[in-house]
Chains A and B, each alone.
Chain A
Amino acid sequence: MIEKAAIAGWTVVAGAGTLAPRQRIRVAFAGEELVLWRGASGRLSAWANRCPHRGMRLSFGFVRGDELHCLYHGWRYGADGVCVGIPAHPDLVPPPTIRARAHRVAERDGLVFVAADAEHPMPLPVLGRVSAVGFRFARSVHIRAPAWEVRAALAAAAPFDLDVAGRHPLAAPGEEREDEVIVYRGAGMAAACAVQAVSGEETAVHGAVDGPQPDDPLALAVWLAAFRDGLEATVPVEEIGA
């Protein structure tokens, strides 16, 4: 039995630059899926990816202004998840009990952090910027390997010859999750790799970089793709076929 932790830990689910205003995507979170969407005014929201009406994935919906509308019946939800309109009944004020399940979401250091809708989230990790620009998102890679293996490989293989400067577990006390952010640092430069355990066999790594060159994020993106390919190549061929 899993008891809900009194304090909610964080999970990095995407890069902060991934979503422009009026865009929405589907992301994995704690064995479920979320719709991550940004309103016209820039506010980011992370909700359970189902409309309370008939279970339709809200990630197929459309953003109008600062509302997300379900594709199936056009039900309209405000930024806090509360249903504000049901087109089939134009004169009805929806009861406040109709709401999408909203989680806490924070953007920091080029990454999107989500915490389950508990009362007290843990403090966000302080990654420590080295330049005035700060961390910029590079890319996400999905790796067919368990999170423990990805974490061990990331700790051993530093990008750009940087050194591991810090490891920030994201699970709250009592939570059994492998999610963490590994920070690397060198002269005038830092990189962060956020490990997200998507399932027992799949792990996402979201990378951000803080460096002087405009193409530093591109360089980290290339490094992450090679890191993924290298790790997947170590899986024996007979297991791939199984």
Chain B
Amino acid sequence: MIHRSGARMLGPEDAVARDEWYAVAIDADVEPERGYRTRLLDVDIELTRDGEGAVACTAVVEGEVHRLPVELAHHHLWTTLGSPTHDVFAIPEADDDGRRFVSCGRVTVRASGLRIVENFLDMAHFPFVHTDILGEEAHPEVKPYRAEIRPNADEVWATECVFRQPRAALASDGAVDAEYQYRVPAPYAAILYKTSPNRADALDLVGIFVQPRREAICDVFPFYMLFDDDNSDAAVAQFEQMIFLQDKSILENQIPATLPLFAGAEIPTRADALSIAYRRWLKAKGLRYGTTPAGAEE
């Protein structure tokens, strides 16, 4: 539902969703003097880059043009329909010496962005969905790990995660016990820190920025920030896309397509400690966009 009262109230009635920043394009994909049209939270928007390289973002609703703020962060362009009280979250590790940023493109997924993030945070599916790459059926166990909401940072984290992986990254030689940490810096974004095959003392970052075009249709921008001097950007992106397309076949077949936050809708176990924390955090925020209202389940 499009809601508008006053000059700047665009998009859904859910103020929590409006007041977030969203990545809406890879910076390099917005070319000078050519409009880049997309959609955010049901609202059609357009990005344009002028001759000096500055990017503007506009939304046209009921014939009225609204100018939206634009931020450049993490090689993506970000905007909002509301009035965020915070900046786009920082990724301090991005500036490490020798770390490379690799964009893995944009993938459309017909599911709630919250389902997409939750899938990204999940280790238990590795043996079944990413068989013989990120997991194997012979080693499906998820060992206990720590999941927590960090109130000061307003983020969700999981630490002390370990999972047996046949081929944890493109640069891997063989099976390893990969060590993981997860960070959820915003409802529609997730970052994974995992053992780098090339640097024993460092962690590679893999992440997704999710752009909710509609409640259950999103564009996902997967990216790497990694230590790897051997493999090309294209090879790294292809590895990630292989993984992500396996997830897409799951995500487009969950019922309902939105994420239920009310008790009893779905049954978690201990392995879902991070998913439980994520859902609890979303519920405490009062986020509704992309969630299943109670009573609407199958």
Contact = CB atoms under 8 A, between A and B. Distances in A.
Note whether A and B form a binding pair.
yes
Contact of A88 (B118, B124, B255): B124
B152 interface: no
B253 interface: yes
B140 A56 contact: no
Nearest to B140: A87
A235 interface: no
A74 B298 contact: no
B269 A92 contact: yes
A50 B124 CA distance: 18
Given A56-B254, A72-B129, A88 B268 contact: no
Given A73-B125, A89-B269, 5 more contacts: A55-B260, A71-B250, A72-B250, A74-B127, A87-B124
Interface string A81-118: 00000111110100001100000000000000000000
Secondary structure type dominating chain B contacts: loop
A98 B140 contact: no
A50 B255 contact: yes
Interface size class of B (residues with CB under 8 A): 20 to 34
Contact of A74 (B140, B267, B268): B140
A37 to B, nearest CB: 16
Please tell me the size bucket of the interface on A: 20 to 34
B266 A55 contact: yes
Contacts of A89: 141-142, 269-271
Given A50-B255, A88-B140, A88-B141, A73 B128 contact: yes
Contacts of A161: none
Given A72-B250, A87-B140, A57 B255 contact: yes
Which of A55, A74, A89 has the most chain B CB within a 10 Å cutoff?
A: A55
Contacts of B128: 70-74, 87
Interface string B108-131: 000000000010000111011100
Interface of B: 118, 123-125, 127-129, 137, 140-142, 249-250, 253-256, 260, 266-271, 298
9 contacts: A49-B255, A50-B298, A55-B255, A55-B298, A57-B254, A57-B255, A70-B128, A72-B125, A88-B123
Interface string A51-92: 011111100100000000011111000000000001111101
Contacts of B249: 60
Contacts of B267: 52-53, 97-98
A149 B36 CA distance: 48
A238 interface: no
A3 interface: no
Contacts of A55: 254-256, 260, 266, 298
A50 B129 CA distance: 17
A90 B143 CA distance: 11
